[in-house]
């Protein structure tokens, strides 16, 4: 569950001035929310590279101030999902269905990629169902370059789908990561397509909770 982040709290977390945010978005937002929470879109704009790097660098380990990517270079790359290793044991059928049916409608009316394959980082400004002005981040999948492997950190449903159709999709690759991955990386053959999310203890391969990356802390809802 993604909890909305008050804008002043968000600024503290990523160490950015309010005026910088206002210049990026054109007006103030009160909350950082999940893209799913924006019901009335006012504007969508490409995310500046410097802003993306700031977000990634401020990701922490869960319940910690440790930032595993503080000094890691990042790049936008096209990746064949088949080369990736995964830490999660399952994908949910309903989320795969939603990527096929619902996702193309999110950016309808804007000159953006229609699907998940070529989508790049954007910022979405709009209103929630409660008429609160809010901003959301949409990021392509995130991959760690870690111990010589390409490890999928975020975006397992998108990669599962693209892997099945045999395509390449855009991703954010974080290079030279030194912090151990929170799970034991496995091949796609180990993943299961399920109707319901399994209990927490059955979701990951040898999960080390203290190493879990807290993407929601900086407003990323995978």
**Complete edge-to-edge strand list for the sheet that includes strand 5-6:** 5-6, 31-33, 133-138, 122-127, 40-46
- Spell out the residues 6+ positions from residue 56 whose beta carbon is closer than 8 angstroms to its own: 69, 72, 74, 142, 172, 174
Cα–Cα–Cα angle for 180, 157, 208, rounded to 5 degrees:
25
Q: Residue 83's pLDDT band (boundaries 50, 70, 90)?
A: very high
- The proportion of the chain whose per-residue pLDDT surpasses 70, expressed as a percent, equals 98
pLDDT at 18: 72
Task: List, for residues 117-155, the tens digit of each pLDDT value.
Answer: 999 999 999 999 999 999 999 999 999 999 999 999 999
- Radius of gyration for the chain, computed over Cα atoms and rounded to the nearest angstrom: 17
Q: The pTM is what?
A: 0.94
* Structure confidence at residue 28 (pLDDT): 79
pLDDT score, position 26:
56
């Amino acid at each position: 569950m993604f909890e909305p982040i008050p804008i002043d709290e968000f600024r503290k977390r990523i160490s950015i001035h309010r005026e910088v945010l206002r210049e990026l978005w054109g007006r103030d937002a009160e909350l950082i929310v999940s893209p799913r929470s924006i019901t009335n879109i006012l504007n969508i704009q490409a995310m500046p590279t410097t802003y993306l790097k700031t977000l990634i660098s401020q990701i922490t380990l869960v319940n910690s101030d440790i930032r595993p990517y503080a000094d890691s270079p990042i790049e936008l790359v096209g990746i064949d999902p088949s080369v990736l290793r995964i830490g999660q044991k399952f994908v949910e059928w309903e989320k795969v269905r939603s990527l096929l049916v619902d996702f193309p409608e999110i950016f309808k009316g804007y000159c953006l990629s229609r699907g998940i394959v070529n989508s790049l980082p954007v910022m979405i400004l709009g209103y929630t169902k409660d008429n609160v002005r809010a901003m959301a981040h949409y990021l392509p999948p995130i991959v760690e370059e870690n111990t010589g492997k390409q490890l999928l950190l975020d975006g397992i449903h998108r990669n599962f789908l693209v892997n099945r159709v045999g395509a390449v999709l855009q991703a954010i690759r974080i290079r030279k990561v030194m912090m151990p991955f929170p799970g034991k990386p496995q091949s796609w053959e180990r993943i299961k397509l399920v109707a319901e999310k399994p209990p927490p203890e059955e979701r990951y391969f040898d999960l080390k909770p203290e190493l879990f990356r807290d993407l929601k802390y900086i407003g990323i809802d995978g």
